[in-house]
Amino acid sequence: MTDDEKIAGLFSEIMEIPISELNDSISYNSYPTWDSLRHLQLISELEDEFDIEFCLEDITSMRTYKEVKELTRKYLQ
Amino acid sequence: MQTLTVYKKDLTEEFLNKLAAFLNEGFPSDTQTLWKLRFDFWWFSNPFLTDTTPVCWIIEDETTHKLAGFLGNLTVVFTYGNQPLRISDGTSWYVSKNIRGPETSSLYFTFSRQKNADIVLNTTPSSTIQNILPTLGFKKIGEDKLQNYMIIVNVAKYISMLATLLDHFSESQSDNKARIFVLASKIGNICSKILPKTKRAQIPAYDTDGRYVIKYCENSESFLEYFTEHKKGNTIEFSKDKTTLDWILFSPEVQALLHRTTAQIFTKTGEYCGYFIYDIQHVGKDTTLRIRELQLLKPEDAVIKLILKHVKIEANNAGCAAVYSGLQNPDPAVDKLLHKHILLSLKTDNRYYVKFRKNVITDVDPYSIYVPSDLDPDVGFI
């Protein structure tokens, strides 16, 4: 499984959005299931999965699915 | 534009006024005056704060400096054997509804990742947060449900207080809300058995048989003279050292906030039998008397009856709506006696979670951690 697939799997499971419906434009404000607590859970699960620790600036910058992927990849390089 | 700021000990009057006003918006039943009393107790009288200990984290608007989020940090000391452990307890996490989002997470991550604490402690009644905390590295400790026994002292005030609690829980705690409704219906059935007291009564010194006597404990020295450790195996407990006791039980700040009373029980011949501690705490415009600790060397019916009589009269004299027991991990024998003598009880779901800093303790079972006192995240009881 690629890193992108792992991110997609986690995001889909936590936000309750089917993987087939994931797209880069999904944003914090556009999806009711993406609330502050699920954001907390998403960050935590990504950190666990990839053994990384996001800095606070990146945590607050993740406002779209595209940014979630990009910022996570940054830590995997 | 919101920024996250960590405040240390240089808390200014201006900032505290602003913070009290902000938290009063978030928790309307708690007045600004009450919040300031909490700040005094949490921070200004706390002997364990150092210059590097954060007292809180806030989110504020970079341009207007208006507050938008808060998470308080209570530093307390527990012991593991003879090893003191610095505990960081999060309190009163609140973010303005209009900015809730990733910033909310940043507050929480700053708290849970801090390096100053040996253990980060979290208490929450919210099932959503309870599900998330294990994924953040927290382990649940203690029982799932906390049994609160209660004695209604003034029916009208009690009903008024329930309305306040419903309002307080309306945002996130649907389970507790439902329980309060169930409780309200129970009250209707037993109201006929309750006689509201209106006259100030004399507190009895002795039980009816004259075998036991209650004495107020005025300072840490007299508490420690009799206090006996009740540790079971590898437990982590709230420290009962003199510095902690001077602050937690006897400081002017805890008296101003909670009117905390420590009382000891002796036999008529002077043999020590145990102690109990209670607070008069605010719930909106009403107050309740809350028994926060109760330890008896030999739990007996006569002692429990004397204690209950004592607290009922104290509660009545102080104009309280009710007496609550909010005991964590009570001795089963004490619990059985409380159950026998108190009609009403309510199970609350305030669960405790801990996260150890790496390598601080490696051999402790989280289930052996004993938190005898009630640490409430919403109102920062210690």
Mutate: best of A44, A50, A53, A64, partner B, most B CBs <10 A: A44
The more confidently predicted of residues B358 and B215 is: B215
pLDDT at position B136: 78
- Structure token pair of residue B97: 């509804």
pLDDT tens figures, B286-304: 889 999 888 899 899 999 9
Phi, then psi, of A33 in degrees rounded to 5: -75, -20
Cβ pair B132:A40 closer than 8 A: yes
**Closest by Cα among B347, B298, B301, B299 to B327:** B347
Which residues of A are less than 8 Å from B135 in CB distance?
A: 41, 44-45, 48
Range of the domain at A34: 3-76
The more confidently predicted of residues B208 and B70 is: B70
Put simply, the chain B residues between 4 and 23 with a CB less than 8 A from any chain A CB are 4
Q: Band of the pLDDT at B370, cuts 50, 70, 90?
A: low
A36 close to B (CB below 8 A): yes
pLDDT tens figures, B337-352: 999 998 888 777 777 7
**pLDDT surpassing 80 at residue B166:** no
pLDDT at position B263: 95
Residue of B nearest to A34 (CA): B101
**pLDDT surpassing 90 at residue B377:** no
H or E element at residue B13: helix B13-26
Distance CA B320, CA B324 (A): 11
Number of domains in chain A: 1
Cβ pair B101:A48 closer than 8 A: no
Cβ pair A45:B136 closer than 8 A: no
pLDDT tens figures, A11-66: 999 999 999 999 999 998 788 888 888 888 899 889 989 999 999 889 988 999 99
Mean pLDDT across chain B, nearest whole number?
Answer: 79
Is A75 buried (19+), middle (13-18) or exposed (0-12) by CB count in 10 A? middle
A68 close to B (CB below 8 A): no
**Closest by Cα among B285, B270, B172 to B225:** B270
Q: What CATH number is attached to the domain comprising A30?
A: 1.10.1200.10
Distance CA B176, CA B349 (A): 7
The more confidently predicted of residues A34 and B99 is: A34
B101 close to A (CB below 8 A): yes
pLDDT at position B362: 58
Cβ pair A45:B135 closer than 8 A: yes
Cβ pair B105:A35 closer than 8 A: no
Percent of chain B with pLDDT over 70: 76
Q: Band of the pLDDT at B371, cuts 50, 70, 90?
A: low
pLDDT at position B376: 45
Which residues of B are less than 8 Å from A29 in CB distance?
A: 101
pLDDT at position B134: 82
pLDDT at position B79: 78
The DSSP bridge partners found for residue B293 are B277
**pLDDT surpassing 70 at residue B105:** yes
**How large is the average pLDDT for residues B25-54?**
89
**pLDDT surpassing 90 at residue B17:** yes
pLDDT at position B123: 76
Distance CA B307, CA B149 (A): 14
Largest CA distance in chain B: 69
Distance CA B267, CA B253 (A): 32
Q: What is the ipTM of this complex?
A: 0.80
- Out of A28, A41, A44, name the one closest to residue B102 (CB): A28
Quick one: how many helices (H) and strands (E) in chain A? Answer: 4, 0
**Closest by Cα among B349, B378, B320 to B160:** B320
Highest mean pLDDT: which range of B311-320, B327-336, B369-378: B311-320
**Domains in chain B, please, with CATH?**
2-141 (3.40.630.30), 146-348 (3.40.630.30)
Residue of A nearest to B113 (CA): A53
Residue type, B237: E
A39 close to B (CB below 8 A): yes
- Out of A28, A35, A56, name the one closest to residue B4 (CB): A56
B267 close to A (CB below 8 A): no
Cβ pair A36:B136 closer than 8 A: no
pTM, entire model: 0.82
Which residues of A are less than 8 Å from B102 in CB distance?
A: 28, 36, 39, 59-63
The more confidently predicted of residues B222 and B82 is: B222
pLDDT tens figures, B177-208: 555 545 554 554 454 344 444 455 566 666 66
**How large is the average pLDDT for residues B131-157?**
79
A71 close to B (CB below 8 A): no
